């Protein structure tokens, strides 16, 4: 029975920094040609934007300021940054895009010179707004550009870039693109503060004058983007740090339904796992890599990544203590056997910054990425990135399907029965207040199957082998009706107090041909640590299988005119707060004679 909102501990996810055991000599040059699994090397901390000065665009040299850095790029690497800025008329945005573009190409072992870029005609290859996003985490160079310092208004407390707005390709114009617009929209909670700051500074004195509308808009965009990046990093740090608690891992490892499903999928499908190269995204303690993907399942190589520095270290020690840790220093003859596991501390999106990964080099991608209501914590986007960049064409992703299902629940799914009789005292006034609060906040709890009052309906289905990241945001409808036959059939009027959602994930015969497996978090199955997610209506809705009284003037959904169907239009989208989701529910009751009644939309944040 759902009695109170449960605090939501973060689910396991991706990775960030490699351990010292995987660092290689930075002076050692990479061999040309196709990379093999035995040729993997760590790129060291520089790839992650470590401390100690500004990192060169092309090598591991570091500098105290951008002036010496760009001079070095020109003299040593033949890349004249300032010349490109002048010739192409790049503004601040264009410079940011160019730096991120060059870093991305260098990471792909693609070389770019000033001569090549200056000969480009038309739209430059870094014009997309995607290059506004820092390619390298904590890239100090992006915050240290002094090329526009002489254009700042000395009387204004905020830097101002003068001249026309360029889109980074030498042509004037207004910055466009969904990427930046999304950043701005997602920062609505801080927008007012920056707008007030700019307005105050720009109108602060007669000599200061006023900032132009274009300048103000551009400065706000820069400030908001910077703050958004810092907020995302803060949320990620807290998220990965929370997984340093062994209590969370104890709960997940103790979830027999969860762990047995992954064990069966990996160990009971030898045709898939024998000799396979495996990527484990969000490895935690490493149970999937260590116990199920390596020696027992017959994998030839396993790379386990995790964003928690502590858990990456723990997984490394566990692999070593169990004789499964891969030794990079061993010669070819010594490699093989059960020592197949490498543990990398990094995000999945930054794996190729930490180690050299053969393109699409993995046969199998496994991850336990699911959160409450399936999508809480938004880890799925990292799994999709890993699938698209590291999995071989036709490679297996486990699990490969996910389905969100729902049903209506009755009074027993609320806290009302508890508060009506507390050691013989009537405290129903408290129950009503608690239920009212539940209509604004989702409750994560185990719902007793006897409290489910309608048939189960599918809300949304994901094909994890083909879906795009944008499909994580969706709108779909549930149509809920009372069971018409069987033991669950109910005569008369039943009160539906809300909707409960859960998910199933499938290890289907598309990849698990020997033994398909289903992991279910249904209230009709053995409870898991995911429980179910409960959304309470503002007011209960009467529902029945019987026909409504024709000509009744009573409202649909009341005891006098119960609904025959409850239709709920549900939207689940990633929230502006990183790793959260917003859920909106629009509910309509439909009587047997076709009359309808709609209730105000309810908005929940998880």
Task: Name the residues annotated as catalytic.
Answer: 368, 377
Residue 327 neighbours by CB under 8 Å, 6+ apart: 334, 335, 339
Picking from 321, 369, 323, 319, the residue whose alpha carbon sits closest to that of residue 344 is 319
- Whole-angstrom CA distances from 113 to 109, 116, 141, 424 are 13, 5, 19, 82
Residue pair 431/536 in contact by the 8 Å Cβ criterion: no
DSSP for 233-293 reads HHHHHHHHHHTT-HHHHHHHHT-HHHHHHHHHHHHS-HHHHTT-EEEEES-TT-HIIIIII
Would you tell me how many other CB atoms lie within 10 Å of the CB of residue 321? 10
Cα–Cα distances (Å) from 98 to 91, 103, 241, in that order, read: 10, 9, 33
Distance, in Å, from the CA atom of 155 to the CA atom of 176, rounded to the nearest integer, reads 30
Whole-Å CA distances, 188 to 159, 195, 229: 22, 11, 14
DSSP state of 554: S
| C-alpha distance from residue 231 to each of 11, 145, 429, 436, 461 (Å) | 19, 21, 40, 32, 31
Apex CA 274: angle with CA 271 and CA 279, to 5°? 110
Find the DSSP H helices in 305-394.
309-321, 351-354, 380-390
Give the span between the Cα atoms of 572 and 462, in whole angstroms.
Answer: 13
Opening angle at CA 235, ends 232 and 238, nearest 5: 150
Under 8 Å between Cβ of 6 and 373: no
Residue 101 parent element (H or E): helix 92-107
Main-chain dihedrals φ then ψ at residue 275, nearest 5 degrees:
80, 5
């Amino acid at each position: 029975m759902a009695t109170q909102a449960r605090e939501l501990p973060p689910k396991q996810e991706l990775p960030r920094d490699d351990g010292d055991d995987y660092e290689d000599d930075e002076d050692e040059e990479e061999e040309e040609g196709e990379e093999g699994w035995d040729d993997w090397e760590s790129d060291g901390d520089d790839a992650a934007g470590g401390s100690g000065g500004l990192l060169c665009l092309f090598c591991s040299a570091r500098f105290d300021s951008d002036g010496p850095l760009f001079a070095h790029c020109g003299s040593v690497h033949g890349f004249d940054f300032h010349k490109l800025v002048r010739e192409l008329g790049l503004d601040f945005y264009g410079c940011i895009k160019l730096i991120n573009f060059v870093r991305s190409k260098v990471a792909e072992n693609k070389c770019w010179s000033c001569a090549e870029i200056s000969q480009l005609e038309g739209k430059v290859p870094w014009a997309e707004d995607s290059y506004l996003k820092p390619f390298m985490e904590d890239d100090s160079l992006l915050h240290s550009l002094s090329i526009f310092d002489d254009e700042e208004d000395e009387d204004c407390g905020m830097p101002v870039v003068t001249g026309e707005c360029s889109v980074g390709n030498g042509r004037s114009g207004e910055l466009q693109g969904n990427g930046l617009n999304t950043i701005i929209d997602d920062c609505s909670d801080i927008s007012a503060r920056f707008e007030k700051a700019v307005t105050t500074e720009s109108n602060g004195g007669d000599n200061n004058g006023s900032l132009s509308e274009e300048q103000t808009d551009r400065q706000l965009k820069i400030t908001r983007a910077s703050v958004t990046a810092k907020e995302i990093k803060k949320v990620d740090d807290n998220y990965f740090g929370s997984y340093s608690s062994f209590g969370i891992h104890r709960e997940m490892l103790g979830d027999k339904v969860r762990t047995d499903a992954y064990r069966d999928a990996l160990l009971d499908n030898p045709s898939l796992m024998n000799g396979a190269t495996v990527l484990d995204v969000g490895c935690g303690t490493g149970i999937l890599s260590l116990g199920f993907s390596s020696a027992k399942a017959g994998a030839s190589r396993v790379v386990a990544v995790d964003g928690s520095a502590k858990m990456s270290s723990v997984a490394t020690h566990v692999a070593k203590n169990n004789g499964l840790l891969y030794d990079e220093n061993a010669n070819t003859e010594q490699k093989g056997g059960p020592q197949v596991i490498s543990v990398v501390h990094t995000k999945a999106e930054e794996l190729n910054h930490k180690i050299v990964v053969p393109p699409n080099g993995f046969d199998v991608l496994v991850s336990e990425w699911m959160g409450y209501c399936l999508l809480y914590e938004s880890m799925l986007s990292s799994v999709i990135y890993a699938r698209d960049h590291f999995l071989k064409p036709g490679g297996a992703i486990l699990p490969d399907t996910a389905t969100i299902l729902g049903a209506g629940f009755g009074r027993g799914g609320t806290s009302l029965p508890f508060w009506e009789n507390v050691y013989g005292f009537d405290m129903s006034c408290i129950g009503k207040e608690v239920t009212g609060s539940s209509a604004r906040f989702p409750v994560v709890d185990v719902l007793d199957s006897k409290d489910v009052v309608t048939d189960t309906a599918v809300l949304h289905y994901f094909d994890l082998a083909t879906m795009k990241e944008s499909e994580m945001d969706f709108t779909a409808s549930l149509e809920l009706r009372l069971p018409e036959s069987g033991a669950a059939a109910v005569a008369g009027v039943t009160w539906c107090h809300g909707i409960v959602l859960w998910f199933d994930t499938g290890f289907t015969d598309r990849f698990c041909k020997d033994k398909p497996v289903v992991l279910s978090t249904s209230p009709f199955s053995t409870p898991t640590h995911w429980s179910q997610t409960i959304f309470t209506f503002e007011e209960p809705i009467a529902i029945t299988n019987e026909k409504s009284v024709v000509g009744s003037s009573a409202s649909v959904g009341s005891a006098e005119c119960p609904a025959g169907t409850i239709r709920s239009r549900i939207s689940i989208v990633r929230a502006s707060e990183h790793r959260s989701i917003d859920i909106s529910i629009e509910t309509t009751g439909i009587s047997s004679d076709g009359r309808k009644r709609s209730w105000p939309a309810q908005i929940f944040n998880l």
